[in-house]
Structure 1
Amino acid sequence: MSSTSSSLQPIANYLILSLPKSTNAREWLEQSLNNGKQPLYNLKVPDFQSGTLDSLVQESEELSKIDQQLNGSVTKIVELLNTVTSSTSTTRIIQSRSIFDYVQNFQWNTSKYRLDKPISQLVKLISSEALQLDSDVKSSYQNYQTAKSNFLAADRKKNGDLSIKSLHELVKPEQFILDSEHLTTILIAVPNSLVSDFNKTYETLTQFVIPRSANIIAKDSEFTLFTVSLFKKYQQEFINKSREHKWHPRTDFIYDEDILNNLRKEFDLTKATESKLKNEVIRLTKTAYSDMIQNWIHIKIIRVYVESVLRYGLPPQFDDYLIKFEGNNLKNLNKAKKELNDKFSYLGGNGYTETKSNILHEYASLVDTEYEPFVLYDLEII
């Protein structure tokens, strides 16, 4: 059974069912299962190169793991797409048609996955494609996240308060002492509530602060930005004591025309990069969802075939069905599972029937309560 992330709800559930042809089950499934309320579809499972029963047992274990991995990959892709687009749209397109149409009218892709190849080769080919898709999506998303972080940092510099924002649009060269061997000018963002304290004390904060050198450069709702000129020798001491007064020295700012020109470009550049990578990750995740679903369904089909051969034997003589449940209707789904067990438990023989009814009493913990006497898998579409 697949497990869906708690943040995502299925837009449809299916049961994939395989039964021996001898059961002649279609009429009962159409008319009696859940009082005939569940849409029923034939599932076209091709004849594969079966190999030995030992090889099928090995493939069965491998297919179970891959099935779960691809389910998890699909879930992650949908989560990423929802995160990037800030949307939980249930529109899912596979090969230019709805996912429901694709699943309910599934056709094995014989041109891509040739049926003259052994099952082991098909499994390896499909799972390798899925693994590469998963890696590509993760890499693209990480690149986008980096670009988004860079843009947010640039945005804070552009639109934050005077204690953090970039100052390249505010300062002018005449406000600074430049090219002096002994003197320098520093910037201090002072909380508006402490401006009076600043004006009274900045000249005596250290030695050799130039009297009346404080000039207001800018002001916002929280801070007033000053320049102060002093001897370079006492710059670090002035900065340290400013912090003790809860002022904010802008030690990140150095007046350099080349640096300022780059800062002026930074916001536009990071914004353009973030937008470009966002569009790329949206395009890739939509494509990856389509491709990953196709990989996943093909793996499901192989798994149904392998399990059917292991349970019902060779030559393949079984019918395969899809039973649809709209949305997250687990009540109807669980009811259908119970009815299927009641109807077809005889396929497991007397031992199975007795086990299900008595649960082997003290050996109950050793019994796989998920085991069914026929092939049955959940398929959650998210």
Structure 2
Amino acid sequence: MAKAFWMVAAPNERVAASTRVQEEVETRHQLGSVSKISMPTFRVGTLDSLMSISDRLAKDSKTVEVITERLLRQYRELAGGRDDVVPLVDGKECVKYIRAFEWDEARFASTEQLQSLVAMIMEQVARLEDDLKMRATDYTATKQAKSTLERKSQGTLMTKSLGAIVTQSHVVETEHMSSEFVVVNNNNKDEFVSSYESLGKLVVPRSLLLVLHDNEFSLYRVIVFKKGLEEFRANCRERRYNVREFKYDPEAFELEQDQLEQLVADADTQADAFTAWSETAYGDAFVSLVHLKILRVFVESVLRYGLPVNFELCLIAPNPKQEARIRMCLADMYAHLLGHWSSGGDTGDEQMIPGVTSDKEFYPYVFDSIPLPS
């Protein structure tokens, strides 16, 4: 499948432009499929307004392409990182939507001024972008809070919540004494066991208790007089023993578990809602993109070919690796439209051609493309 659909606008001469392009590109040379895109009768306005709109459309077109692609990436990320899924557009696949395109009068009434139509499209896309940022921020915050709590319950003894490990029997807490919980790398546990009493003058002798160990770390309880806590902790840090800050509180642990369960439920709910919204938002953005592209081609065609409107917009789906041949075919068909620009000169001259903006290569026909999701 082609990476993009081409839009080619050319004047009707002896035969309709769409008929001629179809005969040459599709029927005679078999370089791709060609169809006609019907456009409503837009309110043209003044030449100055058309020039102004043309410049704006060049920038707006790029903006909408970027936002549409961003929405697709977000949807795919939420769909499990699958790069092959593409949301429907108005209930159709993207390709089918473009081929069967009809101007959406309910969303973008063609009786409006061209400036108003462009503004309506861009306002809709701006709302989608703002909504995307807000939803992504909220979803990320929930995921991060969930991950933080999950690390506490699933990590190593260095980070894991001690609430699920330490019981009342491990704790000695009085007015003058406190239980300190120390995580020691298993490579250093023999050293710690033999020397823990020397880590402070007020360490209670023979108070060491192994609470739990895993493949990497061991968790010990040591009883220390409260007046000697700072000395004990400083000496542990010096020897790279990790003293965990912990106060035994079974109610706090239960609350933490409830918070984790709630965050898991919230994250799942947000993910479902965000996925559904992204699916719809991508379709809306794609609709806006196609309408904006058609407006751009219309404005450039009026600037290029003049009034009254006597041109048609052709949709070309190039066959694989046939883009260059289509260019040659169209160049031969419309070489006569170059007029005095055929001896133009440098790029600076080309930028002054009506209907040609600086971001586009010049062709004897008006050209734009609709990128397809890859």
TM-score by length of 2: 0.91
Counterpart selection for 1:181 from 158, 168, 175: 175
Deviations for 1:270-322, whole angstroms, at most 9, x for unmatched residues? 22222122112211111110000111111111111111111111111111111
Superposition pairs for residues 1-382 of structure 1, below 5 Å?
12-22=3-13, 24=15, 25-33=17-25, 35-85=29-79, 86-178=81-173, 180-251=174-245, 253-325=246-318, 329=320, 331-349=321-339, 351-355=340-344, 360=345, 363=346, 370-382=361-373
- 1:124-151 deviation per Cα after TM superposition (whole angstroms, max 9, x unaligned): 1111011001111121112111111122
SS in 1 for 2:190: helix
Q: In the aligned structure 2, how far is the partner of 1:174 from the partner of 1:366?
A: 87
Provide Cα deviations, 1:8-54, integer angstroms capped at 9, x if missing partner.
xx864111011101163444422432722301111111111111111
Q: 1:93 to 1:11 in 2, by over 3 A?
A: farther
Distance 1:215 1:334 in 2: 78
TM-score, L = length of structure 1: 0.89
CA contact (8 A) 2:11 2:312 kept: yes
Q: 1:207 and 1:163 mapped to 2: Cα distance?
A: 26
Contact 1:156 1:165 in 2 (8 A): yes
Q: Residue type matched to 2:194 in 1?
A: K
* 5+ residue gaps, structure 1: 1-9
Q: Which residue of 1 aligns with 2:356?
A: none
- Measure the CA separation in 2 of the matches of 1:115 and 1:208: 85
Q: Following the alignment from structure 1 to structure 2, what is the Cα–Cα distance between the partners of residues 345 and 254?
A: 84
Q: CA RMSD in A?
A: 1.9
* DSSP-derived class of the 2:322 partner: helix
Aligned to 1:3: none
Paired amino acid for 2:113: P
Q: Size of the alignment, in residue pairs?
A: 361
* 1:240 positional shift: 2.1
Unaligned runs of 5+ in 2: 352-359
CA distance in 2, matches of 1:299, 1:245: 66
CA contact (8 A) 2:31 2:318 kept: no
Which aligned runs of 4 or more in structure 1 are off by greater than 4 angstroms? 363-369
Q: Percent identity?
A: 25
Deviations 1:221-278 (A, max 9, x none): 1111111110122212212211222221112x22223322222223222222221221
Contact 1:157 1:165 in 2 (8 A): yes
CA contact (8 A) 2:18 2:36 kept: no
Distance change in 2, residues 1:364/1:61 (3 Å): closer
Conservation of the 8 A alpha-carbon contact between 2:31 and 2:326? no
CA contact (8 A) 1:168 1:263 kept: no
Give the letter for the 2:238 counterpart. E
- Give the equivalent residue in structure 2 for 1:6: none
